Amino acid sequence: MPERRTVALVTLGCARNEVDSEELAGRLEADGWHLVEDAENADVAVVNTCGFVEAAKKDSVDALLEANDLKGHGRTRAVVAVGCMAERYGKELAEALPEADGVLGFDDYADISDRLQTILNGGIHAAHTPRDRRKLLPISPAERQSAGTEVALPGHGPVDLPEGLAPDSGPRAPLRRRLDGSPVASVKLASGCDRRCSFCAIPSFRGSFISRRPSDVLGETRWLAEQGVKEIMLVSENNTSYGKDLGDIRLLETLLPELADVDGIERVRVSYLQPAEMRPGLIDVLTSTPKIAPYFDLSFQHSAPGVLRAMRRFGNTEQFLGLLDTIRSKAPQAGVRSNFIVGFPGETADDLAELERFLTGARLDAIGVFGYSDEDGTEAATYENKLDEDVVAERLARVSRLAEELVSQRAEERVGETLQVLVESTGSATEDAEDAEDEAAYGRAAHQAPETDGQVLFTSGAGLTVGRMVEAKVVGTEGVDLVAEPLPGSLVCTEEAAR
């Protein structure tokens, strides 16, 4: 009997990477690998890296070095880098980080089992050679679907799986294996991006925009529901472009109600929306469809017109505030989050003040603030009017303080609201808790995406179970987080459902 091969997947970065890791897990399990949670218990540690910004790259390198430290002290015999940083830098990363026994790109995913076995056997697989993935698909979106079958697109498409791995809903399942028991899972809606923001390198290593077919997205959602998932989050580099390569830019408006109708799914969330591409019909669907979260993850980045033009983006403070007014006129409780870059080349004091004016009026539920730094291969890296690092740092600290204050104020505005909260964690508030009154439970409301937007702390976890949707009234706040009291009728339903 062959020796059991074990592998651990360490995932960094965004939800898209989490989907890719579960695809890799599905491929490996289908080929006989045993998946373990801790790298120290694995023959091979596969680190799914992030290559977005410098801090993320550093985290990826640290994770690779940490996994390498396990060699010689436990079971771990090899460390392999995959993901965006590996795809983006390939051979350069391999030369700079000899601790990694392999650096594999997206093209290696289909043969991941063979690649790991070669490395485990002491062989050498040549490090991935980076290339501009935008050139792998036709310029015309209408021609991409047929060409896409020849291009590696992590997270796309179902395949036939061995008996026992396919779902009850049909003979085909996504090539995916869940790596945790969370009641929330991400689903890839598309890959790549056709926008050319001057600060962003993602299209160069993720490629041009290409949609998944609605039948594949629906099939994967049904499969996830059978695994106990209650909420799905649709992810891609730009969800508002979904369907343009399938002949229908409004395809998302049609798909969302179908996803909400999948048995077992309690909430559908859409992330990564471009303000310049928001359509009245999409806003209507997001704000009025049962089980679709009225949640708007809008990529504003800034609000000063001059800075936005330099970023190769569109809009201004008044347009953005008008968009938010439209959303809230249809769904007053709608959640809105966004990220912003401060210290962009050429940003003036007046530009910064304009951004602060927008933030103050926007009433956002969550705000991410980043200081500008050059990214390899981007247009902005060639700009001459760079700000001094200390100026960027000062502006980052200033806007971050404002953002923290504003999101706390927005949380306080929600006191008294009644929310539908998905329970995600339960346990004892204290180690020696002896009764149900000491049980703690956490969850998320419709305006809170996983890991980025805060959470709801229940005043009591008694009667709550993970994966249940509970009605609760907000009674307090802790910064961006909410404190909520489960309503009695909701608890009765929860307890009956648990039985």
Contact between residue 338 and residue 299 where contact means Cβ atoms under 8 Å apart = yes
Domain that holds residue 192: 143-157+171-413
List, as own/partner pairs, every contact residues 115-120 make where C-beta atoms lie below 8 angstroms and the sequence separation is at least 24, other chains included: 115/80, 116/7, 116/28, 116/33, 116/44, 116/46, 116/78, 116/80, 117/5, 119/44, 119/78, 119/80, 120/5, 120/43, 120/44, 120/77, 120/78
Q: Residue 50, annotated ligand binder?
A: yes
218 and 338 both lie in a single domain:
yes
The token duo for 464 is 């709550």
Residues 79 and 210 in one domain: no
- Quote the pLDDT of residue 332: 96
Residue 79 has pLDDT above 80, yes or no: yes
Tens of pLDDT, residue by residue over 335-372, are: 999 999 999 999 999 999 999 999 999 999 999 999 99
Question: Would you say residue 69 has pLDDT above 90?
Answer: no
Cβ-contact 134, 208 below 8 angstroms: yes
Q: Are residues 182 and 227 in the same domain?
A: yes
Mean pLDDT of the chain: 89
Contact at 8 Å (CB) between 311 and 304? Answer: no
Is residue 340 domain-shared with residue 218, that is, in the same domain? yes
pLDDT bucket at 438, cuts 50 / 70 / 90: low
Is the same domain home to 77 and 195? no
- List pLDDT tens digits, range 25-34: 988 998 899 9
Per-residue pLDDT reduced to its tens digit, 233-281: 999 999 999 999 999 999 999 999 999 999 999 999 999 999 999 999 9
CATH of the domain at 16: 3.40.50.12160
Vertex 384 angle, CA 379 and 389, to 5°: 95
What is the predicted pLDDT for the residue at 1?
A: 37
Band of residue 433 on the pLDDT scale cut at 50, 70, 90: very low
Distant-in-sequence, close-in-space partners of 456: CB < 8 Å, separation ≥ 6: 419, 421, 442, 443, 444, 445, 448, 472, 474, 481, 482, 483, 484
Question: Tell me, what's the pLDDT at 82?
Answer: 94
* Same domain? 336 vs 423: no
Please give the residue that has the higher pLDDT: either 72 or 239: 239
Query: CA–CA distance from 177 to each of 32, 35, 406, 468 (Å)?
Result: 13, 10, 39, 22
- 65: pLDDT strictly greater than 60: yes
d(CA 275, CA 337): 12
**Residue 276 sits in the same domain as residue 386:** yes
Domain at 357, CATH number: 3.80.30.20
Total number of domains in the chain: 3
Q: Which of 392, 413, 434 is the last residue of a domain?
A: 413
Domain-embedded: residue 421: yes
189 and 76 within one domain:
no
- Is the domain of 309 the same as that of 458? no
200 labelled ligand-binding: yes
* 112: phi then psi, degrees, rounded to nearest 5: -60, -35
Q: What is the mean pLDDT of residues 424-448?
A: 72
* 407 and 427 assigned to the same domain: no
Q: Where are the beta strands (DSSP E) in 131-188?
A: 158-160, 172-174, 184-188
Better pLDDT: 497 or 312: 312
pLDDT (mean) for 88-102: 91
Q: Is 493 annotated as a binding residue?
A: no
| 403 and 433 fall within a common domain | no
Q: Is residue 84 marked as binding?
A: yes
2 falls in which pLDDT band (50, 70, 90)? low
Q: Which tens digit of pLDDT belongs to each residue from 458-494?
A: 999 888 999 999 999 999 999 999 999 999 876 544 4
- 476 and 448, same domain (yes or no): yes
Q: CA torsion 124→127→133→136, rounded to 10°?
A: -40
- Give the dihedral sign, CA 374/379/384/387: negative
Q: Is residue 262 part of a domain?
A: yes
